[in-house]
Amino acid sequence: SAFTKAGFGGDRQPLRVFPTAIQYPTRTNENRDTDLWRDGHDVRGIRVLLCAGFLYDRPGRVGNVRGQPTPTALVVDSGYAVTWTLPVHDHAPLVHPSRMHDVSGQAIDDWLQQTVMNEVGVELPSNGAWGIALWLAKTERCRVARDFEEESMRWKKSVNDGGHDEIWELPDGLKVKPNTPLGLRAGEVSFNPSMLGLDVGGLQYDAFNVIMNCNRDIRDELCQNVLLAGGNTLFPGFGARFKCELKGLFKEGTKINVISPRNRAYSAWVGGSMLSELSTFEGMCVTRAEYEEGGPEIANKKFL
């Protein structure tokens, strides 16, 4: 849910490639990534890891929660394409209890576009400029309510009393006035996917179910180290609401702590960068020699 420009200076080429995996690496997409060699790219090694897995950036540090080394945490990585909820224990991701959710930045962008067209009556072309405009409007106008129903009622009362107007300015200068709390509703989608027509629970239920599917011995530690990541968690109020929802799902007295790093939109990129700087990183990669000897199957053996 953010823009990044990357490249290489001059004639320099990357020595090793570290592609992100939106879904957990499978035999199909592992083999696709090793096709870099078949396509003639001159790199020495390849390593594939789930985006959320980048957040345990080096042994002993999972997001450096509260400034202390934390080898165990629950990573909730909600980006543009999907949301992954991934438990990490003793520096290693636990794949089997992890979950992927379709609610993401793109889903909210699409919902916003359809809602503006249907409810406000403005036709939005499906081109890049309008997509960026909606993204900017989302980052400026949308937030997560602590209590959606209560805040929606306050919004309506304020509008009826003439004390509040919510004006959205579109790229061509056109100003529209939604007749519903559009910013609040967009923030609510992550916790109530039925607004998208999805018959699934919100992201808080994924977090609860993932923790409950982990070993009983680490559940308390996961509850106390819930680490948010990805641009879709940047809505003001997201962390507080997520904590409130989790407290309502677990038994009374369970300690819940949700960590919202300031630069969490780039957490996976930063974690991957730090991991690739480790002296042990070379041993994590599939080398060209290994690929030429074992073929694409070597990726399945080393990464899965």
User: For the domain that residue 135 is a member of, what is the CATH number?
Assistant: 3.90.640.10
Structural domain includes residue 194: no
27 and 143 share a domain?
no
295 and 219 share a domain?
no
97 and 78 share a domain?
yes
220 and 79 share a domain?
yes
Query: What is the rounded distance in angstroms from the CA atom of residue 186 to the CA atom of residue 201?
Result: 16
| E strand or H helix that includes residue 30 | helix 27-38
Domain stop point among 189, 218, 233: 189
Cα separations (Å) of 183 from 30, 96, 145, 154, 171? 39, 35, 10, 14, 18
Structural domain includes residue 77: yes
Query: What is the rounded distance in angstroms from the CA atom of residue 210 to the CA atom of residue 207?
Result: 5
Structural domain includes residue 223: yes
Range of the domain at 304: 13-47+285-304
236 and 184 share a domain?
no
User: For the domain that residue 63 is a member of, what is the CATH number?
Assistant: 3.30.420.40
pLDDT value at position 8? 43
Query: What is the rounded distance in angstroms from the CA atom of residue 189 to the CA atom of residue 40?
Result: 43
Domain stop point among 165, 189, 213: 189
Structural domain includes residue 81: yes
88 and 236 share a domain?
yes
pLDDT value at position 156? 86
Structural domain includes residue 3: no
What are the beta bridge partners of residue 282? none
Structural domain includes residue 141: yes
Residue with tokens 């990585």: 77
208 and 255 share a domain?
yes
Backbone dihedral region for residue 237 (phi beyond 0: left; psi -120 to 50: alpha; all else: beta): left
Tens digits of pLDDT across the chain (304 residues):
344 444 444 445 555 555 555 455 444 444 444 454 445 555 555 555 555 444 544 333 444 444 444 689 999 999 888 898 999 998 778 888 989 999 999 999 889 888 887 877 766 666 666 677 777 778 888 999 999 999 999 988 887 777 666 777 766 677 777 888 888 999 999 999 999 999 999 999 999 999 999 999 999 999 999 999 999 999 999 999 999 999 999 999 999 999 998 888 877 777 777 777 778 777 777 777 777 787 777 766 766 5
59 and 76 share a domain?
yes
184 and 112 share a domain?
yes
21 and 85 share a domain?
no
Structural domain includes residue 133: yes
38 and 173 share a domain?
no
Structural domain includes residue 276: no
